[in-house]
Amino acid sequence: MNTFKVRIVRAAKGVYWYSDKVGQVFEVTNHNTLDCRCTGPDINGEPAENFFINKTDCVIVEDERKEIMTEFFEITAAVGRIQSEAFQEGLKMGREENAARIKGLVKALKVAIKVIKEAEAL
């Protein structure tokens, strides 16, 4: 039985068991032309094999480490852009609307830094 990993990207219907699991990764097997069958550890206290994922609601995760590193680099690049923008706005700090913009950029930077620190801890 060949297994592979998929990431939930959406739930076509809100009643699907995975509608609140967008972004999560599950190990699956190819079940039929429409669905993948979950394998591995229990899901919601039931055997994983009882759960199916519509193939249009997921993407195959080729290499999760590569995916994580790509996302990490995208986040750090975004932080650099925000930092640069904040610096440019800071040069024009004399106007009140720029002060509000700076506060928003600083808040975004703090969130991004927190995410980066969490990623580095993995």
Instruction: Count Cβ atoms within 10 A of the Cβ of residue 98 and give its class: 0-12 exposed, 13-18 middle, 19 or more buried.
Output: middle
Predicted local distance difference test score (pLDDT) of residue 62: 73
Predicted local distance difference test score (pLDDT) of residue 52: 96
Digitized pLDDT (tens) for each residue of the chain, 122 residues in all = 678 888 999 998 889 999 999 999 999 988 778 889 999 889 989 999 999 999 989 988 876 666 666 676 677 677 777 777 767 766 666 556 666 777 777 787 778 777 777 766 65
Predicted local distance difference test score (pLDDT) of residue 80: 73
Predicted local distance difference test score (pLDDT) of residue 95: 59
B/e letters for 39-75, b = 16+ CB within 10 Å, e = fewer, are beeebeeeebeebbbbbebbeeeeeeeeeeeeeeeee
